[in-house]
Amino acid sequence: EESVRDASVDAFARMRRGDVSGALKALTGPLRGVGPATASALLAAVHDGGAVPFMGDDALNAALGLRTYTPQQQKQLMRALGDKATQLRREEAAAAAPASAAGKAGGDDDSVGGGAG
């Protein structure tokens, strides 16, 4: 019980400093039976912002195509999902830009309730 508390306190402190890798190690090192997947589940549930994705079967299959449940694969998963998030943000911004520019250029008020009545 004390080892679980100590490892958790250490991991959460590392997360506050932005040390995701250290936080995962703080949980997987001293705690018997806690591997990268379990540690990622705990950190994903406790910390906002998506810094640590849950290392589940579906995420691993979709992002990497294989499952080995190692610290190295956790890093690869984090990198792959971060890259995908960046790609989706860029695509969203690109899709929104023409619509935004067209609305400003046209001067039309297409909003609900706007315009003459």
| Domain assignment of residue 112, yes or no | no
Report how far residue 102's alpha carbon sits from residue 107's, in angstroms, rounded to the nearest whole number: 9
| Domain assignment of residue 13, yes or no | yes
| Domain assignment of residue 105, yes or no | no
| Domain assignment of residue 116, yes or no | no
Domain total of the chain = 1
pLDDT in tens, 26-44: 999 999 999 999 999 999 9
* CB-facing half-sphere around the CA of 4: CA atoms within 13 A: 5
| Domain assignment of residue 103, yes or no | no
Q: Quickly state the pLDDT bin for 49 (edges 50, 70, 90).
A: confident
pLDDT at 107: 53
pLDDT in tens, 70-93: 999 999 999 999 999 999 999 999
Show the domain range for 13.
2-92
| Domain assignment of residue 48, yes or no | yes
pLDDT at 99: 64
| Domain assignment of residue 23, yes or no | yes
Q: Is the pTM of this model over 0.85?
A: no
| Domain assignment of residue 20, yes or no | yes
